């Protein structure tokens, strides 16, 4: 298996990206291609003893898509690390692509060069959220700020397949995010989506769920539009960091007894920190395109990149792309005519 990594994408690129790739090359059975400025990449690798013996190679590029650039940059900067890494899947020289760069750029590159799967209206970003039971998958978490009911249903189908095959959740329960559990509540989008979810045989729909239900882990897949999903995701990340910071401040300011109590709780606190650590699930898949595309957080460190590479490997090993295609094809056997902007080559 070969994984192409956008070495120049992210707030801490290329240093943390390359370090994470080295960590993953030592841990997982996968060949890694670092795509980007070769002199910079080699300079970082030079500090790693015997990196030449690891399954790591470099593909040189001359351009970078910055975090602040619009999605249009993927059409202009064709020799950028993001574009070249994405095209490697289409060329057949890579099985997966990972980028911590611009999310809009990654989504645009995937749709432009890999195309959406036949029958898929829009791709969706699926982000794992920690819960007491394990993980709840939130989607869409940023690919589409405006959505239609049919798009949310397809998100539910794709999320269920990913949860079952990569997160190893049997018969994942799917909830529709709303402001109340009652069917008649919510805005027009969720009201129109609810009956479509009920009628979809490809998912185990349990009804509406509220925002407070996400961290409880009562359902395995939570579906919403990308605007709401992205707000929830970033709020959750900020809240987790704030709670951990407040605990550290309380211990530091609480005197000798607080420090003694914290010492006794270290094993428990470490387990809690690991559950809340976004670096443990460093990559969110872009589901619905013809290939394995992982989008990492812009602030990803080496640990997060290493984790994302592990997820990419599990994604490919589980053949999620083919499973989604089969499921969507089965749902579309009704003969529904897709809108003109959804008709495209696979």
pLDDT per residue as tens digits for the range 149-196: 999 999 999 999 999 999 899 999 999 999 988 888 889 999 999 999
pLDDT per residue as tens digits for the range 273-311: 555 555 556 689 999 999 999 999 888 899 999 999 999
Query: Given this model, what pLDDT does residue 111 score?
Result: 93
Pick the more confident residue, 328 or 14: 14
> Whole-angstrom Cα distance, residue 187 to residue 96?
37
Residue 338, pLDDT > 80, answer: no
Q: Of all residues in the chain, what percent carry a pLDDT higher than 90? A: 55
Strands 56-60 and 2-6: unpaired
CA triple 149-228-287, angle to 5 deg: 60
> Whole-angstrom Cα distance, residue 52 to residue 45?
9
Average pLDDT over residues 10-39: 93
Query: Given this model, what pLDDT does residue 330 score?
Result: 81
Pick the more confident residue, 335 or 8: 8
Q: Of all residues in the chain, what percent carry a pLDDT higher than 70? A: 87
> Whole-angstrom Cα distance, residue 2 to residue 35?
12
Other beta carbons within 10 angstroms of residue 50's beta carbon come to 6
Residue 51, pLDDT > 50, answer: yes
> Whole-angstrom Cα distance, residue 266 to residue 239?
21
Average pLDDT over residues 316-328: 90
CA triple 143-30-345, angle to 5 deg: 40
Residue 335, pLDDT > 70, answer: no
Tokens 């129109």 correspond to 192
What's the half-sphere exposure (Cβ side, CA atoms, 13 Å) at 283?
32
Q: Is the dihedral of CA 240, 246, 251, 252 positive or negative?
A: positive
pLDDT per residue as tens digits for the range 133-152: 778 999 988 888 888 999 99
Pick the more confident residue, 345 or 33: 33
β-bridge partners, 177: 209
Give residue 237's pLDDT band: very low, low, confident or very high (50, 70, 90): confident
pLDDT per residue as tens digits for the range 221-234: 999 999 998 898 88
Give residue 100's pLDDT band: very low, low, confident or very high (50, 70, 90): very high
Euclidean distance between the first and the last CA atom of the chain, given in angstroms as a whole number: 22
β-bridge partners, 292: 96
What's the half-sphere exposure (Cβ side, CA atoms, 13 Å) at 254?
13
Pick the more confident residue, 203 or 332: 203
Task: Decide whether 1-120+288-319+332-346 matches 121-280 in CATH topology.
Answer: yes
Q: Is the dihedral of CA 138, 139, 145, 149 positive or negative?
A: negative
Q: Is-contact 135 173, C-beta < 8 A?
A: no
The chain-wide mean pLDDT, for the chain, equals: 86
Please name the fold of domain 1-120+288-319+332-346.
Isopropylmalate Dehydrogenase (3.40.718)
Domain range 121-280, its CATH number among 1.10.600.10, 3.40.630.10, 3.20.20.10, 3.40.718.10: 3.40.718.10
> Whole-angstrom Cα distance, residue 222 to residue 85?
30
Residue 340, pLDDT > 80, answer: no
β-bridge partners, 31: 2
Q: Where are the domains of the chain?
A: 1-120+288-319+332-346, 121-280
Any residues with CB less than 8 A from the CB of 122 and at least 6 apart, and which? Answer: 116, 143, 144, 147, 151, 154, 288
């Amino acid at each position: 298996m070969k994984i192409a990594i956008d070495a120049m994408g992210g707030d801490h690129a290329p240093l943390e990206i390359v370090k994470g790739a080295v960590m993953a090359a030592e841990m997982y059975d996968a060949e890694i291609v670092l795509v980007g400025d070769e002199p910079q990449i080699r300079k970082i690798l030079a500090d790693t003893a015997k990196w030449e013996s690891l399954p790591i190679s470099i593909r040189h590029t001359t351009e970078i898509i910055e975090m602040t650039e619009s999605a249009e940059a993927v059409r202009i900067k064709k020799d950028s690390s993001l574009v070249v890494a994405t095209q490697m899947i289409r060329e057949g020289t890579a099985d997966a692509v990972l980028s911590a760069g611009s999310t809009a750029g990654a989504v645009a590159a995937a749709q432009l060069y890999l195309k959406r799967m036949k029958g898929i209206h829009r791709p969706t970003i699926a982000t794992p959220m920690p819960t007491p039971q394990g993980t709840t998958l939130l989607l869409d978490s940023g690919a589409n700020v405006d959505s239609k009911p049919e798009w949310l249903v397809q998100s539910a189908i794709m999320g269920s397949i990913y949860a079952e095959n990569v997160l190893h959740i049997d018969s994942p329960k799917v909830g529709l995010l709303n402001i109340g559990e009652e069917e008649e509540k919510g805005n027009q989008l969720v009201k129109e989506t609810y009956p479509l979810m009920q009628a979809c045989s490809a998912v185990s729909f349990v009804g509406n769920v509220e925002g407070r239900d996400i961290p409880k882990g009562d359902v395995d897949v939570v579906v919403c539009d990308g605007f709401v999903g992205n707000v929830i995701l970033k709020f959750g990340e900020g809240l987790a960091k704030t709670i951990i910071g407040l605990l550290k401040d309380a211990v530091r300011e609480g005197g000798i007894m607080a420090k003694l109590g914290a010492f006794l709780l270290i094993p428990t606190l470490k387990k809690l920190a690991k559950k809340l650590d976004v670096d443990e699930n460093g990559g969110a898949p872009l589901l619905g395109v013809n290939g394995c595309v992982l989008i990492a957080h812009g602030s990803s460190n080496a640990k997060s990149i290493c984790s994302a590479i592990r997820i990419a490997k599990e994604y490919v090993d589980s053949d999620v792309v083919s499973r989604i295609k089969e499921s969507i094809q089965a749902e579309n056997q009704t003969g529904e005519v897709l809108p003109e902007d959804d008709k495209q080559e696979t």
